[in-house]
Structure 1
Amino acid sequence: MKNIIEIRNLNYGFSKDKKILKNLSISIPKGSIFGFLGANGAGKSTTMKLLIGGIPDETNSIQIFGKNLSGFYPNGFGKIGSLIDSAAFYDHLSGWENLIIISKLRNLPKTECERVLHLVDLWENRNLKMKKYSLGMKQRLSIAMTLLGKPELLILDEPVNGLDPNGMLEIRELLIKLNQEEGVTILISSHLLQEIEKMITHLAIISHGEIKFIGSIKELNELYRYNHIKIGLNHAHKHMNEIPKNYSPKLIDENTIEITSKSKEDIIDLVKKLVLNHAEIFEIKSSAGLEEWFMEITKN
């Protein structure tokens, strides 16, 4: 199976006049860490609730593991671990006891609780009461709950939201480990672009319920890596008139010009032209990154 999730022309809203999702189409490859990125209110959580059956897919626009949701659930719940919003705990109980309750409800052995606690590095803290867990520890235990039963797919809605930098690092390392060592496909939504950029292999960018980009990180790089190139050179203002208008030159400061290009050949041609005009170039760098790309894509 190439794609573990297929969404085709999904529309959803509370009324015909107010659609939350508009012709949404997403393919999520098996074995990927797929970032579902967008601002708050863009439609990420609604899409995820549709995927796990929390909201009915009345148009049969969604397939998971090659099946429509109506044919996939309820038996399919064993193949999926999900965390939408935040997990609920019994604060007066320990992390171990919270996991035992869920494992009993799902008829899973205690060894599963031990396995997932080792995976999320909470075995040493298993007997600590939940009210003493840090936010990062609670988030790791939440993910441990989703891992009970060895799911093939994780659906995580904003799992690093509210965490400090160290907590974000812990969750990121955990998800990469699950993907690379356990072979788990992960769909993760977020609006924290700089953090999510460090772990994803593929992504979709959603804005106001519409997909603005979908593809691999490599494809996004090829499309946007030559946008917003900054050229450091002495007396920048003297060379502004030498740059053709199709580069959209912009004077940033006395030693920096920003240009837009479509390829590395464009940059080579411009640098040659500037050097022949005695420009003293000391730096060329791209300001492109996921945050800049996101702003550019959603703006247009």
Structure 2
Amino acid sequence: MEKLINIQNLSYGFSQNKLILKNVSLSVPKGSIFGFLGANGAGKSTTMKVMLGNLPDENNTVEIFNQKLSELYPHGFQKIGSLIDSPAFYDHLSGWDNLIILSRLRDLPDSECERVLNLVDLWESRKMKTKKYSLGMKQRLAIAMTLLGNPELLILDEPVNGLDPNGMLEIRELLLKLNKEQGITIFISSHLLQEVEKMVTHLAIISHGVIKFSGSVEELNKHYRHNHIRVGLNNASLFTQHIPEYYSAKIIDENTLEVTVQSKEDIIKLTKLLVTNNAEIFEIRNSAGLEDWFMEITKN
């Protein structure tokens, strides 16, 4: 799979004794939604600032579009849309006028502003002053700004931070649409694991400046999935006597059992066994998610 971003052994800090980033390496496949996950202060924003040339990459560790940053600058950055830290607007101007200013600075036609406003579903609100926009609308306008000029890559730093659940949903649906319909590769940092889990195809986990995991969601599942599943069934306590010790069955509540399995065949055998004993099963699910894996990976 073609790599759009490749970073090899990136270290950055004020001195060798105070490194913020320590040998960071990761690859972002073309066409992916790549989640860059970590707690606040883990090194996410610093990494992204180096990727965009805001901080120096003195050892040429970053490649984007198969070019070192020194080769990519300035024209190659036309293919990248970025949003680092909080977006800035002229609050007394409308969403349309904010976009017009940027498009004129970049010698883009006014039709680009219309295109991106329709993409982020703000066309009907284009004449409203941005000081009257909700947080979610402001975030969508900021993403519209990054979409000017048809970029192939979006680099977004905490785009759902501070939004309410509805605003998060709007941004998530927008990013999924941009990825699927426009084919844009999206690199997104966040500490909101449950939200990012709903959209990423690949991810990296960073803790104290060190990459703890980098790869696809499937690879994460393979290497770090807890072998625990939860079975929802009526009157759970009635069926533990029928389950072999191999499964280490544990009652979670009146209608939930947790068991240990090693393969999907184990799940099939257990389900057949319970149904044979007249169990009324209404749910089978993995008991661990990205938040559990994140805690395990960063602690280790």
Q: TM-score w.r.t. structure 2 length?
A: 0.88
Structure 2 distance, partners of 1:79, 1:200, is: 21
Which residue does the alignment assign to 2:287? 287
Structure 1 unaligned spans of 5+: none
Post-superposition shift, 1:92?
A: 0.7
Structure 1 distance, partners of 2:272, 2:129, is: 66
- Is the alpha carbon distance of 1:254 and 1:134 closer, same or farther for their aligned partners in structure 2, counting shifts above 3 Å? closer
Which residue does the alignment assign to 1:243? 245
Structure 2 distance, partners of 1:295, 1:146, is: 32
Residue type of the partner of 2:146? T
Structure 2 distance, partners of 1:45, 1:270, is: 46
CA distances 1:93-114 after superposition (whole Å, capped 9, x unpaired): 1111111111111111111111
**Aligned length, in residue pairs:** 297
Report the 3-state secondary structure (helix = DSSP H, G, I; strand = E; otherwise coil) of the residue aligned with 1:161.
coil
Which residue does the alignment assign to 2:144? 144
Which residue does the alignment assign to 1:188? 188
Which residue does the alignment assign to 2:10? 10
Structure 1 distance, partners of 2:273, 2:19, is: 50
Which runs of structure 2 are paired with 1:168-183 in the superposition (5 Å)? 168-183=168-183
Structure 1 distance, partners of 2:249, 2:46, is: 41
The answer to whether the 8 Å contact 2:31/2:184 transfers is yes
The answer to whether the 8 Å contact 2:236/2:251 transfers is no
Post-superposition shift, 1:219?
A: 2.3
Structure 2 distance, partners of 1:173, 1:274, is: 39
1:215 aligns with 2:215: yes
The answer to whether the 8 Å contact 1:80/1:151 transfers is yes
Which residue does the alignment assign to 2:87? 87
Which residue does the alignment assign to 2:154? 154
- Is the alpha carbon distance of 1:293 and 1:71 closer, same or farther for their aligned partners in structure 2, counting shifts above 3 Å? same
Structure 2 distance, partners of 1:142, 1:56, is: 25
CA distances 1:123-148 after superposition (whole Å, capped 9, x unpaired): 11111111111111110000010011
Post-superposition shift, 1:41?
A: 1.1
Structure 2 distance, partners of 1:295, 1:73, is: 38
Which residue does the alignment assign to 1:75? 75
Report the 3-state secondary structure (helix = DSSP H, G, I; strand = E; otherwise coil) of the residue aligned with 1:218.
helix
Post-superposition shift, 1:165?
A: 1.2
CA distances 1:52-93 after superposition (whole Å, capped 9, x unpaired): 011010111110000111111122220100000111111111
Post-superposition shift, 1:270?
A: 7.1
Structure 1 distance, partners of 2:59, 2:240, is: 61
State the superposition RMSD in angstroms: 2.7
- Is the alpha carbon distance of 1:234 and 1:295 closer, same or farther for their aligned partners in structure 2, counting shifts above 3 Å? same
Structure 1 distance, partners of 2:48, 2:62, is: 11
Report the 3-state secondary structure (helix = DSSP H, G, I; strand = E; otherwise coil) of the residue aligned with 1:159.
coil
Structure 2 distance, partners of 1:95, 1:254, is: 54
Which residue does the alignment assign to 1:97? 97
Post-superposition shift, 1:249?
A: 6.6
Q: TM-score w.r.t. structure 1 length?
A: 0.88
Structure 2 distance, partners of 1:297, 1:2, is: 27
Residue type of the partner of 2:18? K
Q: Which moved more, 1:255-264 or 1:114-123?
A: 255-264
CA distances 1:15-53 after superposition (whole Å, capped 9, x unpaired): 212222121111000111111111111111111101101
Which residue does the alignment assign to 2:120? 120
Structure 1 distance, partners of 2:238, 2:206, is: 38
Residue type of the partner of 1:173? E
CA distances 1:251-300 after superposition (whole Å, capped 9, x unpaired): 64577554444433455677789999x89795653212222222222222
Residue type of the partner of 1:204? A
Structure 2 distance, partners of 1:195, 1:218, is: 18
Report the 3-state secondary structure (helix = DSSP H, G, I; strand = E; otherwise coil) of the residue aligned with 2:31.
coil
The answer to whether the 8 Å contact 1:80/1:154 transfers is yes
- Is the alpha carbon distance of 1:286 and 1:256 closer, same or farther for their aligned partners in structure 2, counting shifts above 3 Å? same
Which residue does the alignment assign to 1:64? 64
Structure 2 distance, partners of 1:253, 1:181, is: 44
Report the 3-state secondary structure (helix = DSSP H, G, I; strand = E; otherwise coil) of the residue aligned with 2:128.
coil
Q: Which moved more, 1:125-134 or 1:219-228?
A: 219-228
The answer to whether the 8 Å contact 1:154/1:185 transfers is yes
Residue type of the partner of 2:245? I
Structure 2 distance, partners of 1:254, 1:96, is: 56
1:34 aligns with 2:41: no
The answer to whether the 8 Å contact 1:122/1:141 transfers is yes
- Is the alpha carbon distance of 1:123 and 1:253 closer, same or farther for their aligned partners in structure 2, counting shifts above 3 Å? closer
